[in-house]
Amino acid sequence: MVKKNTCVFISGQGSNLKNLIFFSRDNIFPIKISLVISDNKNAYGLNYAKKFQIPYLLINTRSKNYENKILSNLKKYNISFICLAGYMKMISNNLIRIYQKKIINIHPSLLPKFKGLNTFNRILKNKEKKTGCTVHYVNDKLDGGSTIIQKSFFIDKKDNELDLKRKTQKLEHRAFPEAIIKIFSQN
């Protein structure tokens, strides 16, 4: 099997990156993580790129030419698929156009509910009974592309924001690899 060269974009902790690295080491998993891009030089997730000797690129989204820097590196590493895993910036329309239906994101809610930031706080305030995570294609609308996979759980009355985060991330670590397998088994 020829694995798709994949770039993972991160901004922070990188637990989803770590999990995808773990899965991608399996011969029959459809992607190889060939590049990691972070907009945050202090992102803990960069340690996983270093530990597993995956090339990584730091970008400064305030600098003028950062988009070109991204594009030239995606080309350099022959990237054909992109995973956003806790990347806190919007992807440019240009990149979305070039990588049409080739960019996916993971979001900690049952989209279309609770798009954007601060999800756990809003979920609790809204007294939701259920929550979960969504893996979806990226389009030009915030958390707006079509859904690939959702996983959910029932919220316990005692759950606080941290509990929701912990339970959601546990599901994310199953949902992201499952979504990738689903995409490439359809192609």
Residue 158 Cβ, how far from ligand GRF at the closest point, in Å?
A: 21
Stretch that binds ligand GRF, among 1-9, 28-36, 100-108, 177-185 (CB under 6 A): 100-108
Q: Could you give the CA distance from residue 21 to residue 42 in angstroms, rounded to a whole number?
A: 19
Q: Could you give the CA distance from residue 103 to residue 95 in angstroms, rounded to a whole number?
A: 9
Known catalytic residue at 173:
no
Binding residue for ligand GRF, selected from 6, 15, 24, 40, defined by CB under 6 A: 15
Per CB under 6 A, which of residues 129..168 are in contact with ligand GRF? 133
Quote the radius of gyration of the chain (alpha carbons, Å). 16
Q: Could you give the CA distance from residue 6 to residue 81 in angstroms, rounded to a whole number?
A: 5
Whether 62 and 36 have beta carbons less than 8 Å apart is answered as no
Site map 29..48 versus ligand GRF, x via CB under 6 A: ----------------x---
Cβ nearer to ligand GRF, comparing 45 with 177: 45
Binding residue for ligand GRF, selected from 31, 36, 57, 85, defined by CB under 6 A: 85
Which phi and psi (to 5°) does residue 11 adopt? -135, -15
**Residues 6 or more apart from 29 whose CB is under 8 A from it?**
3, 23, 177, 180, 181
Could you say whether residue 12 binds ligand GRF (CB under 6 A)? yes
- Give the binding site for ligand GRF (CB under 6 A): 10, 12-16, 45, 85-86, 106-108, 133, 169, 172
Active site residues: 107
